[in-house]
């Protein structure tokens, strides 16, 4: 696996919808999905990250937002997900059958401003390290 299994815990699964032209996300671990200020990654069965992100609010809320953005784009509506990216999501799900979302909440670090959870720094480092296919920016 490309990401540390001791830190990143499975939280959700992404699959094709029944019509094979849309996607759906199912929460698999509610407790992990409640984490805030966390880093998440959508990975293949082989552990290859295809998208890495961070969330200040609950991880589950962020993970569950993916189908709406992607399906809207696949339907031809404009929005946050470009058409080319939505088609890549569809292609990955067709090829792999499922993607798994894994989540990690970094430990707080003591700084001059007090305790700070460095989740954005961890996200940035992982994006630079892995260069996932579906990250549009490589922060």
CATH of domain 9-130: 3.40.1440
Tens digit of pLDDT for each residue in 127-137? 999 999 999 86
Tens digit of pLDDT for each residue in 23-63? 999 999 999 999 999 999 999 999 999 999 999 999 999 99
Sign of CA dihedral 89, 66, 126, 97: negative
Q: Which residue has the higher pLDDT, 80 or 33?
A: 33
- Specify the pTM: 0.93
Sign of CA dihedral 72, 57, 53, 136: positive
| 51 bridge partner residues | 42
Identify the residue whose tokens are 């990143």.
8
Strands (E), 82-132: 98-104, 109-111, 114-116
């Amino acid at each position: 696996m490309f990401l540390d299994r001791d830190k990143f815990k499975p939280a959700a699964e992404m699959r094709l919808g029944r019509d094979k032209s849309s996607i759906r996300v199912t929460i698999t671990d509610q407790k992990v999905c409640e984490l805030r200020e966390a880093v998440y990654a959508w990975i293949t069965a082989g552990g290859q990250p295809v998208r890495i992100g961070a969330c200040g609010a609950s991880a589950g809320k962020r993970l569950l937002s993916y189908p709406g953005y992607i399906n809207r784009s696949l339907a031809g509506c404009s929005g946050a997900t470009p058409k080319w990216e939505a088609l890549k999501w569809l292609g990955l799900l067709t090829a792999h059958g499922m993607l798994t979302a894994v989540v990690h909440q970094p430990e707080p670090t003591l700084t001059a401003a007090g305790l700070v959870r460095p989740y954005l720094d961890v996200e940035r480092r992982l994006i630079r390290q892995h260069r996932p296919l579906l990250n549009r920016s490589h922060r």
